Amino acid sequence: MEQFDVLVVGSGGAGQRAALEVGRRKGLTVALITKIFPTRSATAMAQGGVNACLNNVAAEDTIETHTFDTVKGSDYLGDQDAIEFFCSRCPEGVLEMDHMGAPFSRTEQNKIAQRNFGGQSYPRTCYSADKTGHVILHTTYEQCLKEGVHFLQEWYLLDLVKDANGHVGGAVVWNMKEGKVEQIKAKAIILSTGGAGRIFWTRTTNPFLSTGDGMAAAFRAGNGLKDMEMIQFHPTGLGRTGILMSEAVRGEGGYLLNSEGERFMKNYAPNKMELASRDVVAKAIEDEIAAGRGFGSGLNAYVVADLRHLGPEVIIEKLHGIRDLAMCFEHCDPLVQPVPIRPTCHYTMGGIDVVDYKTCACELPGLFSSGEASCISIHGANRLGGNSLADGVVFGKVSGAGAADYAETHEQPNVDAELAAAAKAWEEKFTEVTTREGGRPVVEIRDALADAMWNKVGIFRNEDGITEALKEIEQLIEDYKTCYVGDPERTYNMAFVNYCEIGSMLTVAKAIAMGALHRRESRGAHIREDHPKRNDERYLKHSLIKLGANGEYELTERDVVFTKYEPQERKY
């Protein structure tokens, strides 16, 4: 059995920043478990930038303006106290990364460069060309090594364990290399396991590891999931693959054109044009395609992003990686031709319910969460570009400090018996599922889930479609209980890991669909064709889904926190 003061699950920007914060506390031990190599997380794929009011480009920008832009971007579903807290700490977070050695792009005055991003009043998105997440992740990783963070890579979270008083105090984990269940005891556990975009399988910008594992584990342990219906669809996924074409493309001045050669955003957001918020741009693209002004047809329909007018200097120096992706996956060079794009699943704005944004503590004592896995309610119904990396930088640190404070004031929990029982149950499950004959192939369940979610709980939703999707998910959950996995080997048994991930996706998908069915309005990224208007009187509330005593999903509501800004119509 392993034992630490703090256990961090997930090696993205938030998880590593959390582990680093604990590692800097003298006398505390901290381990970080990750199912991949630590620098291969989704954070490394974040291209565009990280928001902070530094005034390096726009002297008139303020933290209050960043706060309002975020509240407005959230379609007023964000908690304004948490958003104020977040925006006020973004400058410190970015400057800390700069001082650690993150190689940000620079202005001629050698200040951190900032660019325009969608839904924002001023250029406040700090960047490192088009690989900002990559440099942040490598910077935190080397600092974690410096501070003695203990990395346990290729370890996959199976379940959380609670003591007799309901305090989270341990985890059972699958050691992929050794092919066995490991037991870890900790005073505090931080879940920073990222989003769940792979529920939509290939139509997502997310890596294959984004399967909602932390959300599902927290849910099974009894913590709520909040605002799960709020799934962001990024406007500019590459047409064939859904791979991200960063918002930096539009931030640097790229155009979106329909099949008639028209910059159609003038009809949807005449002021901000291509730099309206992501939900507005994504809906506009789908509306253009539905109106017959796209290229191609069906699931292969698209519009184009035109960068040619930017010139070689901007494209090669600031958008080099994006050009490489377009050439590799779309076989077109943005220097000489427009790039096919269409909305693709990008970000899970809902997540593990965090009840204290100042510590990132969850409802369950001893449990903390940060990054995309969490729902601190700063993104609401729509996240602004650049606020995700900022979320990881700010709340990664906050969750690390909160967990460290908790560990310093609590004893190691008495969970030895609970850990042993959970480990035994998972060992038996491994043998049972990997030697089982017959049953529906687990990958077939995965594909059927993706079809149901994309076609019925995707960008456009309605009562009939969501209801059908829920029925299909329920059937898939039943099929999963007797599914075929087919590999009894223990060492690097990725079929078993895949089985576990699909279980997580089924758990999370049901919560997404339930939230989408309940919210009979259109708000931000949640677009109901049968309820096209926002309904503040009835639905200006968070949705909260918890696991009932008999295994049923229970949905309740929670009030949104307002401090300064009353809801108004969003215009861009």
Q: For residue 446, give both structure tokens.
A: 């995965």
Q: How far apart are CA 303 and CA 450, in angstroms?
A: 23
Query: How many CB atoms neighbour CB 274 within 10 A?
Result: 24
Assign 361 to helix, strand or coil.
strand
Query: How many CB atoms neighbour CB 409 within 10 A?
Result: 8
Element (H, E) at 538: helix 536-539
Question: Which backbone phi and psi does 238 adopt, to 5 degrees?
Answer: -60, 140
Q: How far apart are CA 240 and CA 301, in angstroms?
A: 9
Residues 6+ apart with CB under 8 A from 537: none
Q: Are 43 and 347 in contact (CB under 8 A)?
A: no
CA-wise closest residue to 123 among 313, 270, 271, 250: 250
Query: How many CB atoms neighbour CB 225 within 10 A?
Result: 29
Q: For residue 224, give both structure tokens.
A: 């709520």
CA-wise closest residue to 487 among 441, 553, 540, 545: 441
CA-wise closest residue to 199 among 308, 346, 44: 346
- The total number of residues shown for the chain amounts to 572
Residues 6+ apart with CB under 8 A from 370: 14, 15, 17, 18, 190, 192, 354, 360, 376, 391, 392, 395, 396, 398, 399
Q: How far apart are CA 406 and CA 403, in angstroms?
A: 5
Q: 537-550 burial, b for 16+ CB within 10 Å, e for fewer?
A: eebbebbbbbbeee
Element (H, E) at 128: none
Query: Percent helix, strand and coil across the chain, each rounded to 5?
Result: 40, 20, 40
Q: Please state the separation of Cα 524 from the chain's center in Å.
A: 16
Examine the residue annotation and report whether 278 is marked as an active-site residue of this protein. yes
Q: Which of the residues 250, 278, 446, 534 is marked catalytic? A: 278
Which residue matches tokens 């341990």? 170
Q: Which residues are catalytic?
A: 278
